[in-house]
Structure 1
Amino acid sequence: MPEAPVPFPSLQPSALPRLIQAVATRYGGASRYTRHYVRAKLLRDPATKAIVTLATELGGFGTVGDLGCGRGQLSLLLLLAGGAEAVLGMDRNGPALLEAQAAARGLPARFTAADLATEPLPDCDTLLLVDVLYQLPPEAQRALLERMATAARRRIVIRAFDPDLGWRSRCGFAMEWLNRAGRGDLRRAAIEPMKLPALRAVLERAGFRVSVTPCWGGMPLPNVLLLAERGSA
């Protein structure tokens, strides 16, 4: 029997563990690594609670474009929580997208292979970009933001890397280096996260009201959650 979405804005924090378990169960046919990753990521990443809480406060995200969606677990959580009406996920990782689509059976979700630097972005109420922007070359970061500002009907939600948070930023750069070393990916250019004033300026010039809140939980990282909503500043 399909999981019943939780009506917004009635979602309570106590419901989140049950919903995470419901999402994890949907990946039962995926690889062992994916099954572990999906559950651990949703449980441990501060972005999970922060984004679901934000959706609750806003009365839902409407239709969502999840850019760089990976295995799609956050999109599916939003759907089961009632925080999204429908989802289109985009990513370059074909095998991950296949696992996401299999896990989304019976839900209004579609996952498609796409290069965010070149493919048209979906016309959605909310565009979601989590831990993707800072991975792009500097010129591509600005270009993607400008395209998102055109495509998003109501809002943009970004979990970004703030390079100006002192020791937190130094920890973030070090962890990124370690992650790349573990993948044997050190030949790729070092990350150059866009500074938050410049990031905000792109969206504010496009007519968005922008707010930024910490999104690192108990971790020594420089992650922040940026919400940009259409309307006069």
Structure 2
Amino acid sequence: MTDLAAVVADRYRDASRTARGFIRGKLRGDPVVPALLALGGAHSLGHVLDLGCGRGQLALALLLSGRADRVTGLDLDTGKIAAAQAAAGDLPARFDVADVAAAPIAPCDTLMLIDVLLQLAPPSQDALLARIAAAAPARILIRAFDPERGWRSSLGFAMERARRVLGGDLGLRGAVAPRPLREIAAPLEAAGYAVAVTPCWTGTPLPNVLLVAQR
């Protein structure tokens, strides 16, 4: 994992030292990274569409580890998308500026929605989940904030509110609005997906879980 984090971070040579340090730290310390790498196993996740990709480090890590054949990332932040595309170089990766709350869902094998739903108002969450289900990728991977995890949820709410006060991130919109997991899973199950939920918070105090929906 450490080597992969360094390899990915080194591709961001045009980014600031702070950004490179953030990328390296996220790939080394975020529990979603080993969780997603383990999902691929000996098989590729195919074409991965990463909605709300930020600087694209997670998508590139999947690509460089052989877990993805091709990646596409969408994010509202033009600076982060520029950094992602520059880091991608000649890899089979494309990053575009788009509002994931309204952008069309392109065909893909695996769709990732990591730490995004929490940032949207409930009606936008419902609309996005409906569009994802209608697009019918083979696999949907969602890391969500579980509002029903006791002290973890209380601390998570406090941290998210603090992030909004501090500002500086285009992904932060309005109030903190996590949905109960059953409300996230329901439209996917109605579309024929089997949904499994596992904790995805190792080493952190957060209430993050990973939903894996497969046909």
| Structure 1 length-normalised TM | 0.88
Q: Could you tell which deviates more after superposition, 24-33 or 80-89?
A: 24-33
Q: Residue 50 in 1 paired to residue 28 in 2?
A: no
Task: Say which of 93, 103, 107 aligns to 1:119.
Answer: 103
Q: How do residues 105-116 of structure 1 correspond to structure 2 at under 5 angstroms?
A: 105-116=89-100
Give the Cα separation in 2 of the matches to 1:152 and 1:74.
22
Task: Say which of 168, 180, 190 aligns to 1:205.
Answer: 190
Question: 1:8 is matched with which residue?
Answer: none
Q: Deviations over 1:172-214 (max 9, x none)?
A: 10111122222278x9632111111111111100100000000
Q: Which has the larger radius of gyration?
A: 1
| Structure 2 length-normalised TM | 0.95
Q: Residue 62 in 1 paired to residue 23 in 2?
A: no
Give the Cα separation in 1 of the matches to 2:79 and 2:135.
27
Give 3-state SS (helix, strand or coil) of 2:14's partner.
coil
Q: CA RMSD in A?
A: 1.5
Q: Residue 90 in 1 paired to residue 74 in 2?
A: yes
Q: Residue 25 in 1 paired to residue 3 in 2?
A: no
Q: Residue 36 in 1 paired to residue 21 in 2?
A: yes
Given that 1:126 and 1:152 are in contact with CA atoms closer than 8 Å, whether structure 2 keeps it comes out as: no
Q: Residue 129 in 1 paired to residue 113 in 2?
A: yes
Give the Cα separation in 1 of the matches to 2:129 and 2:178.
13
Give the Cα separation in 2 of the matches to 1:183 and 1:116.
19
Identity among equivalent positions (%) equals: 54
Q: Deviations over 1:112-157 (max 9, x none)?
A: 0111122111110000010001110001101101111122420100
Runs of 4+ in 1 over 3 A off after TM superposition: none
Give 3-state SS (helix, strand or coil) of 1:51's partner.
helix
Task: Say which of 42, 62, 83 aligns to 1:78.
Answer: 62
Cα distance change on mapping 1:193 and 1:102 into 2, 3 Å: same
Given that 1:87 and 1:109 are in contact with CA atoms closer than 8 Å, whether structure 2 keeps it comes out as: yes
Question: 2:84 is matched with which residue?
Answer: 100
Question: 1:141 is matched with which residue?
Answer: 125
Amino acid at match of 1:18: D
Amino acid at match of 2:111: L
Give the Cα separation in 1 of the matches to 2:129 and 2:174.
21
Give the Cα separation in 2 of the matches to 1:78 and 1:96.
18
How many residues in Structure 1 have an aligned counterpart in Structure 2? 213
Deviation of residue 33 (structure 1)? 2.2
